[in-house]
């Protein structure tokens, strides 16, 4: 039985890691989310994934709306993260991920949940491609 939790240790808090994520990480778009990810060599945490969520102030001026969207993305991720964890445990990889809400309008939870699901599937696909490319090199 999977426990659907989201601990503080799973959050992407390290400024250094966030900087590295945006400098040398890879990204893809899964509307309304842009996903930036990075596989570090050295990892501090106990969890295979550290995740951050952000909604730009440029698109949503009011903090209430930004916080609502972040809560929706975080909740959708919390319920779907076990798929990503299972994949990473089999491949023994670690990951830093940032979900950036790039949509201009406030979408419903259902649409955000679908987008998070697609993003996780695409993330697994991208990691499979990159790990197979590393093995060939």
Calpha distance 12→37 (Å, rounded): 11
User: What strand order describes the sheet that includes 33-38?
Assistant: 26-30, 33-38, 95-101, 49-54
Q: Rounded to the nearest 5°, which phi and psi values hold at 100?
A: -115, 125
Domains of the chain, by residue range, sit at: 8-136
Q: Which residues have a Cβ under 8 Å from the Cβ of 133 and sit 6 or more positions away?
A: none
Prediction pTM value: 0.90
Cβ atoms within 10 Å of 10's Cβ, excluding its own: 19
The one-digit pLDDT tens for each residue of the chain (137 residues) are 567 888 888 999 889 889 999 999 999 999 999 999 998 876 667 788 999 999 999 999 999 999 999 999 999 999 999 999 888 888 888 899 999 999 999 999 999 999 999 999 999 998 888 777 666 65
User: What would be the CATH architecture of the domain defined by 8-136?
Assistant: 2-Layer Sandwich (3.30)
């Amino acid at each position: 039985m999977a426990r659907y939790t989201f601990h503080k240790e799973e959050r992407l808090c390290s400024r250094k890691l966030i900087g590295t994520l945006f400098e040398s990480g890879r990204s893809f778009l899964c509307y309304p989310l842009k996903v930036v990810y990075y596989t570090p060599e050295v990892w501090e945490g106990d969890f295979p994934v550290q995740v951050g969520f952000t909604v730009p102030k440029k698109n949503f001026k009011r903090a209430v709306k930004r916080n609502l969207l972040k809560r929706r993305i975080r909740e959708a991720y919390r319920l779907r993260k076990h798929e990503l964890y299972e994949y990473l445990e089999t491949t023994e990889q670690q990951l830093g991920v940032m979900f950036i809400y790039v949509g201009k309008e406030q979408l419903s939870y259902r649409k955000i949940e679908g987008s998070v699901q697609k993003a996780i599937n695409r993330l697994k696909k991208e990691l499979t491609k990159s790990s197979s490319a590393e093995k060939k090199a």
